[in-house]
Structure 1
Amino acid sequence: MSRVTARRKMLRITPAGQIHRPDSLAVEEPLELRLGGQSLTVTMRTPGSDIDLAHGFLLGENIIGSREDIVSARYCAGTDENGQNTYNVLDIELRTPTMVPARNFLTTSACGLCGKTALDEVRTHTRFPLPARGPIVDADVLATLPGELRARQTVFDATGGLHAAGLFTADGTALAVREDVGRHNAVDKVIGWALREDRIPAHDLVLIVSGRASFELVQKAVMAGIPVLGAVSAPSSLAVDLAADAGLTLAGFLRGDTMNIYTAAHRLKQASHTPATTTS
């Protein structure tokens, strides 16, 4: 398997002068997913947890609904200039053979379409509607999860160039954390892990992401039955619309002891209830 970091020469400019030295960078390589030998998609990812990534992607696109839907996933011949296997081609055999979808994927369904159409696409295809109530998550616990996620970003420490996603229990226990150059890939990797561990639908889990919350990430959470999504940065408008439509609790700007709750705040428990203020 390819390494997840690579060394490249660089020139560092500082007030004290210039330094020529190598720098550690996150590896970015293509991964082609095939179904029964037919090319399905190519994504740029950081090598590692590719099987989980494939499971998570196929679940998010409604191509599979459980781990039993996949009979095998194996690396095929894909060689570099030295004839070595790049491990960048993954062929998946489904229990029920299917034609390669000749359509836009759900994760890109917002492109060129109105927001309502994108929401309808997810509503129509999700196998795991979110529970009306649980889980109940303590707001103080939720506030600690970005720090717990960051503490497990080992490759980020070396490169500073990776996104991360993590699945946690409602009490804050970390179950799986994955890093990748693509935030959507990191989410696919942890959801794929959950699928292979028979934790889907993940009605009792919390998903935390290191960056912003896009429509695509909310869609992946909804398709996996994850009821709570927290992001270190901001959500997009369509992400909030989808979260509201699906009944998902969406928290943004999870930084320190503050956060913004955009939808389904009933799943959060606060130690003290202070009157809310409204500004225009």
Structure 2
Amino acid sequence: MSQAYARRPVCGRGADLLAVEEPLEIRVNDRPLAVTMRTPGNELELALGFLYTEGIIAGPSDVVTARLCTDTPNVVEVRLTGPLDIEARNFYTTSSCGVCGKASIDSVRVHSHHLVQHDTTVVSRQTLATLPGRLRKAQRGFERTGGSHGVGVFTPSGELVLAREDVGRHNAMDKAVGASFQRGQLPLSGRIALVSGRASFELVQKAWVAGVSVIAAVSAPSTLAVDLAAEAGMTLIGFLRGDSMNVYTRPERITD
């Protein structure tokens, strides 16, 4: 398996350590389903998180086996207990886009089975202000290369439950969701999700599907991200930098 980092020459001054970007094919029931450009590592988490956030699986009982192929590089095979019950389409996701290759606008929307609008989780502004620094300390890939996105899952008291990185922000979220899936920790009720960059529609949607009621971003959200958070009953926070933050939806979950 490829390493997550590799050196490449820089004209006139040695070499830089860069995050590796390689394709990963996800096969389900012997059928090629998706190809995503990702940083090597945590492949099973990525595959299971992708299948969960795309609504293809709903729980561990839906999965018979998930394995990284030893004879074919960069391929994960997942076998389900039942048939692959989705519309006929393949996914091709780049490191910057997690919804590319879907066959229609309708297929972009994945609805959550979790009623996050009723989640009574609250978190203080003071705790929120500490989260970016705690996630940054866990981002070893970013520290080494400056080229990876991070997603952290926190308790309302600010404890880091897990962190995942990838060149694709959607892959980092899928890895975090997949790790929670493997640990039997879904839905992520009572948890705070933090993304190291901007909050896009796809990241908010994946967090919603995973049962997250509070999602924060270091950078800006998009209009669709705000609209989806409002529809889902999620609390969406942007520009979380030090003591400064913008709360776009459901501000009653943020305490002083």
Tell me if both proteins adopt one fold, taking TM over 0.5 as the criterion.
yes
Q: Deviations for 1:31-58, whole angstroms, at most 9, x for unmatched residues?
A: 0000011100100000111111111111
**Unaligned ranges ≥5, structure 1:** 12-18, 80-85, 271-280
For these two proteins, the number of residue pairs brought into alignment is: 249
Report deviation, 1:100. 5.8
Give the secondary-structure state (helix, strand or coil) at the position aligned to 1:20: coil
The answer to whether residue 143 in structure 2 is matched with residue 157 in structure 1 is yes
Report deviation, 1:75. 2.1
Identify the match of residue 187 of structure 1 among 160, 173, 177: 173
Q: TM-score, normalised by structure 1?
A: 0.84
Report deviation, 1:67. 2.1
Q: Is the 8 A contact 1:35 1:100 kept in 2?
A: no
Which residue in 2 is equivalent to 1:141?
127
Change (3 A) 1:28 1:266: same
Partners in 1 of 2:118 and 2:159 — Cα distance?
A: 23
Partners in 1 of 2:136 and 2:57 — Cα distance?
A: 31
Change (3 A) 1:129 1:104: farther
CA RMSD of aligned residues (A): 2.0
Q: Is the 8 A contact 2:33 2:90 kept in 1?
A: no
| Aligned-partner residue type, residue 149 of structure 2 | H
Identify the match of residue 219 of structure 1 among 196, 199, 205: 205
Partners in 1 of 2:200 and 2:33 — Cα distance?
A: 23
Change (3 A) 1:193 1:203: same
Identity of aligned residues (%): 49
Report deviation, 1:156. 1.0
Report deviation, 1:118. 7.8
Which residue in 1 is equivalent to 2:4?
4
Q: Is the 8 A contact 2:114 2:211 kept in 1?
A: yes
| Aligned-partner residue type, residue 78 of structure 2 | I
Identify the match of residue 69 of structure 1 among 47, 62, 79: 62
Q: Deviations for 1:135-185, whole angstroms, at most 9, x for unmatched residues?
A: 111111011101111111111111110000011111110011011000000
Identify the match of residue 163 of structure 2 among 177, 184, 188: 177
Partners in 1 of 2:229 and 2:107 — Cα distance?
A: 12
Partners in 2 of 1:207 and 1:2 — Cα distance?
A: 28
Partners in 2 of 1:203 and 1:49 — Cα distance?
A: 23
Q: Is the 8 A contact 1:133 1:266 kept in 2?
A: no
Partners in 2 of 1:26 and 1:101 — Cα distance?
A: 34
Which residue in 2 is equivalent to 1:108?
99
Q: Is the 8 A contact 1:40 1:101 kept in 2?
A: no
Partners in 2 of 1:210 and 1:202 — Cα distance?
A: 19
Q: Deviations for 1:64-101, whole angstroms, at most 9, x for unmatched residues?
A: 1112211111122565xxxxxx3x01110012232564
Report deviation, 1:203. 1.0
Of structures 1 and 2, the larger Rg is shown by 1
Q: Is the 8 A contact 2:27 2:77 kept in 1?
A: yes
**Unaligned ranges ≥5, structure 2:** 92-97
Change (3 A) 1:104 1:229: farther
